[in-house]
Chain A
């Protein structure tokens, strides 16, 4: 008898799934109240504005939070956020922001001048990865009255308003966040959405924040599904399980989906750039001729066409295309590619066919997508085409690469990528080229002329003057080649045909609150 019961139970367990398939049509989900679902292969690293320093988590924060100023969707124009207006003192050192009245965090605490001060002070005090975005510029914050807060700078910074729009400046509630350590509460923010539920790396459920001053989000409930791999996400958008497939589908999938034509493929140039960094303070790349030889020999066209199937564009400056002051500096200096020049420089440096220049080129295999190994391989081939270079490819996982190898200067030459912290040419130049910060990026480059240009460009307010300075910066950068840009990314989202409001803009942080179903 026992045996029969067992067999029966096993039978039920096995048969049940089949019944489920036959019993229900696939379309039961398509009802009125269906939430908007976005898929991504990115992840929320740490949900605290004082600690997070990655692009995806910043995107989440721009939807559950709002800065004193914010970007107008689709543009890089700054408009009032939780501050209605602001004034700048004549010396450019004091910014006084007037907050909107009666705002409340999602935990019920008031969002006033004291809260803004507390949040900014906390970022400085914790001194974590993104803290420099505050501490390098802000001297102190003062509360003028409940609704007015004054930020006093160390020195005038022409792009300070765009810094204020970045995540480390977001106000958070002192009730939900502890003062002296990192935490990840799901309440205590203020923005168009609030968090309903968050299961790390599985899903994030957002719902409209009823206390938000501005227009309500176009979709009441917004769900983010986190995928482990791009192939699964591609199939999920193909079957309609998700409405929007966001970062990052593989180029081959994008091309495929476009040719099938059932979903819309949206694309926009993004200020995401890729480049090579040389360690400039130690052999072999302290020799400028070798850096220039690499700059002349790399084949940007092949990287874009072969590895990325034409979904990215060759880039000839660290300042991305489409941003003011951009010039094709490396193209002017070396042409699209110049193998003869590379050979000449290497010969001058004492290398020959019998005694080629040997070095290790480093890359990280997954952080920049599955294609990185291909990119590195093409890079190696294009350098070895000179006949005078012998490249050994080496790789390390991102965590080790970023946290240990870069700052320690372990790697003589390596591939890296950049998403902007704030939308200004300064963010694409100073950090790599200024004596003070370039060691942080593993460049270890120092040139007083360059420092002077960058310092000047920081404090000048007139855009013509700044453009002129950044043009000089880019020319000098191409001459000395401490960093060598090779392509600029394109933002791609694949959406269902009835989805509207997916705005891909140069700020690159997707605004969930604009997305809706027609």
Chain B
């Protein structure tokens, strides 16, 4: 057990330089792409006003000191203030929008895993039969599809032609469940608000299916490959020899053992999930982090854009760290 502890500590320490490198890349890129002062003031501002804003934002200091400042503030949970007039703290801006992205991601992820594992298992157990070919093809096609395209097709089918589901937004006009967590579905549950619940769920279906389908392909292929490999193993043959039903063999013994690489993939997929969420949110006008990023890029709100990227990056690093630790916990042979 001690070695696991050492491993965890080493992994956490290793994450620190990684985060620092990442921060400096983001920071430098944001400094290269343009001038935040002209973004704030427009093209007609007098020189003294420009100087005043530069002073206020600390832009008159050497870049290295600006970076140290930024990291120091970050350690205190401060991502700076938005350059948009009103100048809210970036953390508050992110906090307003993050629950929407979290809600979308959780559902999309559940959908992708459910579809992926189901189709993958079907493919593996019907090896080289037509069902296998169909699901393999499914895996390749969904993985190579473009998210806005899937979104628009679903919007057209379920929104325009069938008229069943709304095509954009997070909840009906003027509706708003009382905020507990910011997750509308959970909030409307907790506050017993059935109208909001129904509306929020209806708005959630198309975006989460879009993102879910897109991500499911890789799980399909992964589950298929791993399960097939496991089903060749001796212990499966032994289980069959003992007369266990095929269902028990596949689901209890086979799938469980095929799960370790899938778990790693879940961690790695997390970054893809966030990228996918950005595109999905734009397609569905979903008011989350993705749309926030998209909007703020067009406003040239440097601090918010930087804050969102750092926030995304920290999430990905944390999730990967957690997956590595869980992985090491499940499989004691792993100590890098």
| Interface residues, chain A, with chain B CB atoms under 8 Å away | 10, 13-14, 16-17, 19-21, 23-24, 26, 29, 35, 37, 43, 45-46, 48, 51, 53, 127-129, 131-132, 182-184, 199-203, 205, 221, 223, 225-229, 231-232, 235-236, 238-239, 241, 397-400, 402-404, 406-407, 440
CB pair A128 B107 closer than 8 Å: no
Which chain B residue lies CB-closest to A41? B285
Contact partners of B35 in chain A: CB under 8 A = 404
Contact partners of A407 in chain B: CB under 8 A = 43-44
Contact partners of B152 in chain A: CB under 8 A = 231
Which chain B residue lies CB-closest to A181? B85
Q: Which of B34, B159, B204, B282 contacts A229 (CB 8 A)?
A: B282
Contact partners of B166 in chain A: CB under 8 A = 239, 241
Q: A10 CA to B110 CA in the complex, in Å?
A: 8
Q: Count B interface residues, CB 8 Å.
A: 53
Q: A361 CA to B209 CA in the complex, in Å?
A: 43
Evaluate whether A399 and B298 lie within 8 angstroms (CB atoms) in the complex, with A228-B291, A238-B160 already known.
yes
Q: A102 CA to B160 CA in the complex, in Å?
A: 50
Which chain A residue lies CB-closest to B176? A197
Q: A17 CA to B201 CA in the complex, in Å?
A: 5
Contact partners of B114 in chain A: CB under 8 A = 10, 14
CB pair A183 B201 closer than 8 Å: no
Evaluate whether A403 and B39 lie within 8 angstroms (CB atoms) in the complex, with A21-B205, A24-B198, A235-B155 already known.
yes
Name the 10 nearest CB pairs between A and B, nearest first. Answer: A20-B201, A129-B42, A202-B287, A182-B85, A17-B205, A403-B38, A399-B300, A228-B282, A407-B43, A46-B85
Contact partners of A238 in chain B: CB under 8 A = 160
13 residue pairs of the A-B complex, CB under 8 angstroms, read A21-B205, A51-B85, A127-B44, A129-B42, A184-B86, A205-B174, A223-B173, A225-B169, A226-B285, A236-B167, A239-B159, A398-B298, A403-B38
| Interface residues, chain B, with chain A CB atoms under 8 Å away | 34-35, 38-39, 41-46, 49, 84-86, 107, 110-111, 114, 152, 155-156, 159-160, 163-169, 172-174, 185, 197-198, 201-202, 204-205, 208, 282-285, 287, 291-292, 294-295, 298-300
Contact partners of A406 in chain B: CB under 8 A = 43
Q: A202 CA to B285 CA in the complex, in Å?
A: 8
Contact partners of A23 in chain B: CB under 8 A = 198
Contact partners of A202 in chain B: CB under 8 A = 287
Contact partners of B165 in chain A: CB under 8 A = 21
Evaluate whether A239 and B163 lie within 8 angstroms (CB atoms) in the complex, with A128-B45, A227-B168, A227-B285 already known.
yes
Which chain A residue lies CB-closest to B158? A21
CB pair A229 B85 closer than 8 Å: no
Instruction: Summarize A's interface: helix, strand, loop or mixed.
Output: mixed
Contact partners of B34 in chain A: CB under 8 A = 399-400, 404
Beyond A127-B45, A203-B173, A399-B298, 4 additional contacts (C-beta under 8 Å) are A20-B202, A29-B172, A229-B282, A407-B43
Find the residue from A24, A229, A232, A399 having the highest chain B CB count within 10 A. A232
Q: Which of B111, B169, B197, B295 contacts A14 (CB 8 A)?
A: B111
CB pair A232 B167 closer than 8 Å: yes
Which chain B residue lies CB-closest to A184? B86
CB pair A13 B107 closer than 8 Å: yes
**B227, chain A: closest CB distance, angstroms:** 19
CB pair A403 B42 closer than 8 Å: yes
Q: A201 CA to B46 CA in the complex, in Å?
A: 30
Evaluate whether A14 and B110 lie within 8 angstroms (CB atoms) in the complex, with A127-B49, A228-B294, A403-B39 already known.
yes
CB pair A127 B46 closer than 8 Å: yes
**A29, chain B: closest CB distance, angstroms:** 7
Contact partners of A37 in chain B: CB under 8 A = 173
CB pair B43 A404 closer than 8 Å: yes
Evaluate whether A229 and B44 lie within 8 angstroms (CB atoms) in the complex, with A37-B173, A236-B168 already known.
no
CB pair A232 B86 closer than 8 Å: no
CB pair A199 B287 closer than 8 Å: yes
CB pair A21 B202 closer than 8 Å: yes
Q: A228 CA to B296 CA in the complex, in Å?
A: 12
Contact partners of B156 in chain A: CB under 8 A = 235
**A490, chain B: closest CB distance, angstroms:** 25
**A439, chain B: closest CB distance, angstroms:** 11
Contact partners of A21 in chain B: CB under 8 A = 164-165, 202, 205
CB pair A223 B86 closer than 8 Å: no
Contact partners of A397 in chain B: CB under 8 A = 298
Q: Which of A46, A128, A129 contacts B84 (CB 8 A)?
A: A46
CB pair B283 A232 closer than 8 Å: yes
Contact partners of B208 in chain A: CB under 8 A = 17
Q: Which of A13, A17, A43, A227 contacts B202 (CB 8 A)?
A: A17
CB pair B85 A225 closer than 8 Å: no
CB pair A225 B173 closer than 8 Å: yes
CB pair B164 A223 closer than 8 Å: no
**B83, chain A: closest CB distance, angstroms:** 11
Q: A398 CA to B43 CA in the complex, in Å?
A: 12
Q: Which of B38, B44, B295 contacts A440 (CB 8 A)?
A: B44
**B198, chain A: closest CB distance, angstroms:** 5
**B46, chain A: closest CB distance, angstroms:** 6
Q: Which of B44, B111, B167, B287 contacts A129 (CB 8 A)?
A: B44
Which chain A residue lies CB-closest to B163? A26
Q: A400 CA to B38 CA in the complex, in Å?
A: 9
Evaluate whether A235 and B167 lie within 8 angstroms (CB atoms) in the complex, with A17-B202, A29-B172, A205-B174 already known.
yes
Q: A182 CA to B285 CA in the complex, in Å?
A: 28
CB pair B204 A17 closer than 8 Å: yes
Q: A48 CA to B45 CA in the complex, in Å?
A: 16
Contact partners of B185 in chain A: CB under 8 A = 16
CB pair B159 A235 closer than 8 Å: yes
CB pair A228 B285 closer than 8 Å: yes
Contact partners of B294 in chain A: CB under 8 A = 228
Contact partners of A440 in chain B: CB under 8 A = 43-44
Q: Which of B42, B46, B160, B287 contacts A53 (CB 8 A)?
A: B42
Find the residue from A37, A45, A231 having the highest chain B CB count within 10 A. A231
**B168, chain A: closest CB distance, angstroms:** 5
Q: Which of A51, A223, A403 contacts B43 (CB 8 A)?
A: A403
Contact partners of A53 in chain B: CB under 8 A = 42
**A193, chain B: closest CB distance, angstroms:** 15
**A107, chain B: closest CB distance, angstroms:** 17
**A327, chain B: closest CB distance, angstroms:** 32
Find the residue from A132, A238, A406 having the highest chain B CB count within 10 A. A238
Q: A201 CA to B286 CA in the complex, in Å?
A: 11
Which chain A residue lies CB-closest to B33? A400
**B68, chain A: closest CB distance, angstroms:** 28
**A210, chain B: closest CB distance, angstroms:** 19
**A231, chain B: closest CB distance, angstroms:** 6
**A196, chain B: closest CB distance, angstroms:** 9
Contact partners of B283 in chain A: CB under 8 A = 228-229, 232
Q: A282 CA to B303 CA in the complex, in Å?
A: 37
